Structure 1
C-alpha cells in the first residue's frame, strides 16, 4: 500500500473535519431530532428522513409527479435518503460522506434514456457511449482508464450485483438490465465506501430500486410510439395482498425498427417483474423476480469523411451518418463456416440481446439488538452477440480489386491473374468507382450464471459507535463459443449490398459477400468464485461530525478450460481463398487457474455546516481482479502465474465535497484525485489480432450538480465535470490523455411548470456539451467535441392521465462517440466511426389507476 497516500489522505480528512468543528459551535445548527438521528441505532438508521421509500414517493406518485418543481419536490430532495454504499439502513443524501447521484422514476422519464447505459448521462464524472443501441455500451468513469465496455461500473438490483463481474468480452453490466415502470429510482455511487461493500467496485455503482406494494393500491398503463415505428406498452400494479403481505407486478412489450433502420426490427422483446414483500417485527423481507426476453440490434461504425487530422467530420457521400446503417436484409441471415462440413446459421436481428431470469431476496430485520441484513441474487442469462463489426476504412472497388490481384496473382501454378470481376449477388457488375467496406459478421454465444450473497450484521458496540461486520460470496460462470472475423465485402451505402469478386485464374476472393474466414474461434468454459470479509465502523463524534472507515479482504479463484486452435480450409479447395485459414478448435484444451487476494479500505467523514449543508472528505484504496478474458489471453499457465504480466490492478482515490439544498438552490460539488496501477487493456483488430497492454494512470477533476429555483415552478439545473487524466508507467502511452474521456462535459436543463387549475403543463429541455476526446491510448484518433439539444413536455390531466412528448438530438448534431476500434491508426480521409443517433422523438400516454 502507498503509505504516503494513506497517511496524507487520512490527515487531510481528519484536519478538515476537526478544524471546522472547533470553528463552529453545535448549537449554531440546532437541527431537529429527526435530522440528526444517529445511524448507530440500527432499527432507526433510515429515520434521518422518514424512511427511504417515503422520501422518494413524495415525488413519484400521481400528484407528486406533477409537483416536481414545487415545494414538495424541494422538500423531498432535502430529506432524500440513499441506501447505496451505506453500512446499515440509510442516510440522508445531504449527510452522506461520498459522491452519489439519484433519479426518481419521473426524472428518468424526463431524461428519455435510449438504453440503461444512457441513464448515466445524468451522472457527473461518467461518460456513457450509448450509440450501440440497447446493449454493448462503453462507459468511462472519472478518469478510470478503460478501452471499452464498462469495467468500472457495476449494475445492481436492490443492492446486489446482477452479475458480479462488471465486464467480460462481449458483455458489460448495463446489458443485463432493462428499464421499465417497475423501477422506483436509481442511485449511482462514485467511488466512496463501495470499495469494501458488495462486489467492491472502486468506480461507479448503479443501483436500481424496485417499487414495492403499499397499503394504497396503485397502477398504470402507458402506450408509447416514436421514431422507427416504435410500439411499446408498459404496465404496473402494486398493493396490499393480505395482512403484512404486499406485492407488485409489471413489465413491457416493445417492437421498433430503430433510428437506424436495417430493414428488420432493431428491438423486439418483453419483460415481466414481480415483487412480494412481507412486513416483519422490526424489518421486512422482499422477494423479487424478473424475466427478460429482448432482442436488440447492435450498431457499430458507419462510413464518414475525416479531415484536418480528425478535427472536422463530415458526411460520407450518399450515407446519412445520423440514420444510416450498413446492415441490410440481404445480409441479415448469414452463415459461419465453422469447420469442414460444419456451417452455422445466424440472424443479425438477434443482435446483442438478453434472455435471462433474475431472482433475489432482500432481508433486513433487527434481532436482539443486532441489525441483520442479507441480500441474495441469482442470475441465469444468454447474452449472445450476433452483430456486424466494421473493419478497414472505405476504399474504391477498383482499389480493392487491385489489392486482390496483388495478393493472389500467382496463387495458381501456371496461371497468372490479370483481371478481377466484381458483381452484386444478382450478377450485376460493380463499378470500379463504387466505394466499398469490409465488415465482419460475428457470432458470440455467451451463457452466464451467477449467485451472490451479502450478509451484514451491525450493532452499537460503544456509545455513538456502530460496527458492521459482513461477508460477500459470489459464484459465477461463463460458457463461450466465439466466431470472429467472417469478413464480408459490401457497398459503403445504407443497407449495403454484398459483393462477389473472382479472378480470371480461378481464385474466388469473395463468395456471397464473404471475403474472409473466421479468424478466432475459441470455445471456453470459465468458473469463478469470490469471498470477501469486511468490517466497518461509524463514529458519531457530535451532532456535527460523523466519521466512518472500513477494511475488506477478498479472495478470488478462477478456473478456465479453453480450446486449443488450429487453422484449416473448410472446403479443401485452395481456390476459395475466403475460407482458407479458418480458425477452429482442436480436440485438446488448455486448463488455466489463478488465485488472487487483495485488501481494500475506505475512510471518510462528514461535517454539518448547517442542517442542510455539509462538507465531506474521503480516501479509499480498491482493486479490480483479473477476469476470465485476461486469463484466456495469457494463453499458458506459466504466463498466467507471472504476476509481472498479469498484476492485480489497484486504484487509490481521494475526494472532498460540499453538499447543500434549500428552496432557492441546491449544490453538490466535489474534487477528486485518482491513481491507478496495473490496468490491463485489450484491443481486437480487424484481422483478429489481439493486442494486450498494461499501464497505469493518474488524474484529478471536479464534478458538480447545481440547481437554481429563482421563481416558483422554474428550475435551472447544471451538471457535469472537468477532469485531467493521463496514462503512466507504459513508455508507449505515458503522458497521453486517457482515451475516450472528455476533459469537460456538461448538461444545462431548464424546467418550467405551468399550473392550469386541476391540470398542468411542464416544459423541459437539455443542452449537452461533450468536449473533445481521443479514441485510442496512443492519442492518434481524434474525436471532436459536440453539442446536442433535447426538448420535452408533459401535460397532466388531473391525477389520472399524462401525455408526454420528447425529442432528442433535435439539432441533428454529428458527434462521434467512437473511432475505428479495429485499427491502430488515425488521420484524414474516409473512416469508419460511430456517431450519435440523429433526431428522434417519442410520445406516450399514461393512465394511472
Structure 2
C-alpha cells in the first residue's frame, strides 16, 4: 500500500486567521481615515543618534522581571541582551537561531537552514539542538519543552515585521519565572496598535532567487480598541543549489488590544505554513587532524549540496507490502497555529498578570543525513563484496556461491567509474505532531520597601511521533548527487534505485507531559541605590509515554536484496513508561547603582531542566527510568557578577559567570543507532557588550565572550572541553549614519571571529576557527521609502559549524563529511512606510 506525505496546502486554521485579519484590516483603514495624518515615515531611529542612545539608556525589559511592567535594562540585576526591529534587520539573521549571534555567550549553528539549529549557551553542556534555550512569544513559551529529538525551540518561530523587539535573558531569575529555563530565554515581543496608525510594505530579492514580501499594519479600531495585522510570504531556491525550492511558505499574525482602566487585555494569533530544506554535512577534505579544511574536488562547499531532484521524492519501506512516499522539499518545516491571551491589571494596588497560549503544530523532518566519509566506488564495491560474503542468509540464498565481483551503475543509466567518489546518506522521515497549552498567573504588591510576587505556572503538552531512520542511499560525491545501483556476480543486490541500507529504527510513540510550578519572590529596595531580590520555585513534572516495541523483517522476503534485510518495524505491542519528578529552584541577586545610569550586580541561582520525552525512550524500561542514578534530574548552578553603564558617549555590559552542572543526559544518533550517556560539567568565563559613539552618527560595537568549560562526572570524557563551544568569540560591528541632503544613508557591517571548537564530547573532531564579514547599507529615498542592501559572508569564508555527527571518530586526514557556512548571500529590500 502506498501512502503519501501530508499535503502542504494552506491549513483551515491559517484561512480562519486570514479572514480575521481581513476584518481587522478594514476596521483599521476606517480608523485611519478618521485620525489626523501622522508625520511622514522615515528610517527607524539611528542606534548612534540621540534618539537611539536615549532609547538604549531608558530601555525597559520585561523578561525575567517580577513586575509585568518591567524594569530598565540598566537597573536589572541580571544579564540580558535586547535588539530592536532595526537592529534585527541590521544583523540580517538567516534564521531564528541566527539571532543568537547578537548575544554574547551564545553560539548558534544556523547552517542547517531555517530549522533544526544547534544553539550553545555559555558553558552549558549540550551536543545538538538547543536544550538550554527557550523561545517565547509575549512572555510565554511557544512550546514548554525547549528540545526533543528532531525539534528545537527556534524551529517553532519565524521572524517577520510584526515583531517589535527581542529580549534574550541568560541565567538570572529565569529559573523562577515562566518555564524555569536556566539557560537562555528568547522572548519575542509583538507589535501592538496605537492611536497613530502606521504600517509598512517590504519586498526583498536576493541570492538563490529569493523573493519575499512582508507587510504589517496597526492602529486604532475603536475607542480603547487597537489592532495589528501582518505577515510574510517567501520562496527561494536557497544558497545551496538542490534543484528544487529550499524554502516556500508564509505566516499571518494578528492581535487585538483592549485598553482597560489600569491595565490591558491583548489577544493574539499566528498561523504559519512554511517548509524549509534541511542541510547536513557535505564532502570536504581534512588535513592535519582537522586543523585545515579545503574543498572536495568538484564540490563547492559554499553553495553545493548532495540533495537533488533525482532523490527528492523517495520511498520508505515501512513493512511488507507497505511503502510511504516523502519529499525532501518538505525538509524541516512548520505548519502550526498559536493563540494567546495576555492580561494585565492593577486592582487596588495588586498587579495581576495572566499569560496563556495554545500551540498546535506539525514539525516534520524529511531530510538527508550524511553517513560514512567519501570513498572511491572501487573501495565501496570491495567492502560490499566482503560484507555480502560474510552474510550467512545471503550466501545460502546464492547457493553458497561467494561473490567475486560486481557492477555499479547509475540509476539513470550508464556504468560508474571505479574512481568515482561516492558517499552514503540516509533519507530520513520523522513525523512529529506537537501540542501544548501553558498558563502563567502572577500577582505582585508593594508592601513598604518590598515588592512581593507570587505566581503559578501550568503546562500541558504532547508529542505524537513516527520515525523512519536509516534508509541509506548510495550516491556520487558531487553537487546534486546521482544515485547508484550495485549488484554482485552471485545475484546479491547491494543497492537498488540507490537504496543500500534498511530502516534501522522505526518507533511509533505517544508522549504526554504536565508541569505545575508555584513560586514566590521578593524585591527589597534597601535604598535609592541598593536593591536585593530573592525567589524560590517548586515544580512538579509528570510524564507518560507509550512506545512501540520493535522487531525486524525482510519486506520483500528475499535474502539476496541486502538493502532492506533487517528492516525495523513496530511489532504491534507497546511499552508504557511514566516518570514523576519534583525539584526546587532558587535565585538571589543584588544591584547597587553607582550613578543614575551605571550599576553593578551579583546573582546566584540553582535551576534544573528535568528529563524529556526522549530520555524516557532511551531508558527503555520502567526500572531503568526510575533509577535516578541512570536517568537523573539535571541540576544547574550559576553565579554571576556584572557591571552596566550607558551614556551618550559609550555603553558597557560586562559580567563574569561560573557554572556547575550535574546529571545532564546526552544522545547521539549515529549511522547505526542511538548512543546515550550522562555527565556533568563546570565552567567559567566573561561576557561583554561594548559600544563607543565618538562622533555624531558613528557607533562602534564589540560583543563576545571568553569561557573555559569542561566535562566531569563521566570517566570517558572527564576533563574534556565542552563540545561545540569556542573558548573565545567576538563580533565587531561599526555603523555610520551620513546625512545626504534632507535624508540620510547608514553604512554598517560586522566582522566576526569564532574560535576553534571540538565537535564531539571525546574531543576527536576538531573544528578550526573562522572569520566572517557582513556588510550593509540603508538609504532613505524619500519620506516614506527606504532601500536596504545587505551581504553576509562577503569573503566566502569556509568555516565549519559541525563535523560528521553521525560518526564517533575524528576528522583525521582525507575526505570527510562536515557542515560548512553558507557562501556569500546578497539581499536587497525596498520598504514603503505609511
Cα distance in 2 for partners of 1:427, 1:223 equals 44
Map of 2:214 onto structure 1: 234
1:367-386 deviation digits (Å, cap 9, x = unpaired): 12210000001000000000
Residue 66 of structure 1 and its aligned partner are, at CA, apart by 4.6
Cα distance in 2 for partners of 1:759, 1:702 equals 40
Q: Is 1:421 matched with 2:407?
A: yes
| Residue pairs, 1:104-253, within 5 angstroms | 104-253=84-233
Cα distance in 2 for partners of 1:101, 1:755 equals 29
Q: Is 1:711 matched with 2:695?
A: yes
- Pick from 405, 415, 418 the counterpart of residue 432 of structure 1: 418
Cα distance in 2 for partners of 1:334, 1:269 equals 22
- Pick from 351, 362, 367 the counterpart of residue 347 of structure 2: 367
Q: Is 1:596 matched with 2:575?
A: no
Residue 61 of structure 1 and its aligned partner are, at CA, apart by 10
Cα distance in 2 for partners of 1:751, 1:623 equals 40
- Pick from 738, 748, 757 the counterpart of residue 764 of structure 1: 748
8 Å CA contact retained: 1:469, 1:534: yes
Residue 407 of structure 1 and its aligned partner are, at CA, apart by 1.1
- Pick from 83, 94, 115 the counterpart of residue 62 of structure 2: 83
Residue 757 of structure 1 and its aligned partner are, at CA, apart by 2.8
Map of 1:615 onto structure 2: 600
Cα distance in 1 for partners of 2:158, 2:783 equals 27
8 Å CA contact retained: 1:307, 1:313: yes
8 Å CA contact retained: 1:417, 1:503: yes
**Against the structure 1 CA distance between its residues 727 and 444, is the aligned structure 2 distance closer, same or farther, given a 3 Å change threshold?**
same
Cα distance in 2 for partners of 1:79, 1:62 equals 23
- Pick from 550, 563, 573 the counterpart of residue 578 of structure 1: 563
Cα distance in 2 for partners of 1:582, 1:107 equals 50
Cα distance in 1 for partners of 2:257, 2:561 equals 63
Secondary structure at 2:723 match in 1: coil
Secondary structure at 2:181 match in 1: coil
8 Å CA contact retained: 1:559, 1:593: yes
Secondary structure at 2:384 match in 1: helix
The number of aligned residues is 788
**Against the structure 1 CA distance between its residues 141 and 516, is the aligned structure 2 distance closer, same or farther, given a 3 Å change threshold?**
same
Secondary structure at 2:111 match in 1: coil
Residue 756 of structure 1 and its aligned partner are, at CA, apart by 1.7
Cα distance in 2 for partners of 1:633, 1:416 equals 39
1:555-608 deviation digits (Å, cap 9, x = unpaired): 000000000000010010111110000000011000000000000000001100
Map of 2:514 onto structure 1: 529
- Pick from 311, 329, 333 the counterpart of residue 349 of structure 1: 329
Map of 2:444 onto structure 1: 458
1:64-93 deviation digits (Å, cap 9, x = unpaired): 615332101101100010000000121000
8 Å CA contact retained: 1:766, 1:790: yes
Residue 416 of structure 1 and its aligned partner are, at CA, apart by 1.9
8 Å CA contact retained: 1:650, 1:677: yes
Map of 1:307 onto structure 2: 287
Residue 417 of structure 1 and its aligned partner are, at CA, apart by 1.0
Residue 454 of structure 1 and its aligned partner are, at CA, apart by 0.1
1:6-28 deviation digits (Å, cap 9, x = unpaired): xxxxxxxxxxxxxxxxxxxxxxx
Map of 1:441 onto structure 2: 427
**Against the structure 1 CA distance between its residues 430 and 363, is the aligned structure 2 distance closer, same or farther, given a 3 Å change threshold?**
same
Secondary structure at 1:811 match in 2: coil
- Pick from 732, 745, 760 the counterpart of residue 716 of structure 2: 732
1:422-473 deviation digits (Å, cap 9, x = unpaired): 0001330000000000000000000000000000001113x11010000000
Map of 1:24 onto structure 2: none
Cα distance in 1 for partners of 2:212, 2:820 equals 25
Map of 1:834 onto structure 2: 819
1:711-762 deviation digits (Å, cap 9, x = unpaired): 1111000000000000001000010000000000000001000012321100
Cα distance in 2 for partners of 1:606, 1:581 equals 62
Cα distance in 2 for partners of 1:409, 1:472 equals 60
**Against the structure 1 CA distance between its residues 214 and 745, is the aligned structure 2 distance closer, same or farther, given a 3 Å change threshold?**
same
8 Å CA contact retained: 1:295, 1:352: yes
Map of 2:679 onto structure 1: 695
| Residue pairs, 1:488-637, within 5 angstroms | 488-637=473-622
TM norm structure 2: 0.94
8 Å CA contact retained: 1:409, 1:418: no
Cα distance in 2 for partners of 1:612, 1:641 equals 51
Map of 1:824 onto structure 2: 808
- Pick from 278, 286, 289 the counterpart of residue 266 of structure 2: 286
**Where does the alignment leave 5 or more consecutive residues of structure 1 unmatched?**
1-59
- Pick from 770, 788, 792 the counterpart of residue 786 of structure 1: 770
Between 1:402-411 and 1:129-138, the stretch displaced more is 402-411
Secondary structure at 1:65 match in 2: coil
Map of 1:13 onto structure 2: none
Cα distance in 1 for partners of 2:754, 2:406 equals 46
Secondary structure at 2:556 match in 1: coil
| Residue pairs, 1:397-408, within 5 angstroms | 397-408=377-388
8 Å CA contact retained: 1:64, 1:73: no
Cα distance in 2 for partners of 1:247, 1:813 equals 44
1:156-180 deviation digits (Å, cap 9, x = unpaired): 0000000000000000000000000
Cα distance in 2 for partners of 1:154, 1:168 equals 12
Secondary structure at 1:131 match in 2: helix
8 Å CA contact retained: 2:45, 2:51: no
Secondary structure at 1:321 match in 2: coil
8 Å CA contact retained: 2:42, 2:833: no
8 Å CA contact retained: 1:141, 1:204: yes
- Pick from 53, 63, 66 the counterpart of residue 74 of structure 1: 53
Cα distance in 2 for partners of 1:558, 1:829 equals 46
Map of 1:14 onto structure 2: none
Q: Once superposed, which parts of structure 1, at least 4 consecutive aligned residues long, lie more than 6 Å away?
A: none
Cα distance in 2 for partners of 1:292, 1:483 equals 25
Map of 1:102 onto structure 2: 82
Cα distance in 1 for partners of 2:399, 2:717 equals 46
Secondary structure at 2:432 match in 1: strand
1:594-635 deviation digits (Å, cap 9, x = unpaired): 000000000001100000000000000000101000001100
Map of 2:315 onto structure 1: 335
Cα distance in 2 for partners of 1:154, 1:66 equals 29
8 Å CA contact retained: 2:303, 2:822: yes
TM norm structure 1: 0.92
Cα distance in 1 for partners of 2:561, 2:362 equals 34
Cα distance in 1 for partners of 2:413, 2:482 equals 12
Cα distance in 1 for partners of 2:114, 2:105 equals 22
Map of 1:814 onto structure 2: 798
**Where does the alignment leave 5 or more consecutive residues of structure 2 unmatched?**
1-38
8 Å CA contact retained: 2:247, 2:276: yes
8 Å CA contact retained: 2:553, 2:566: yes
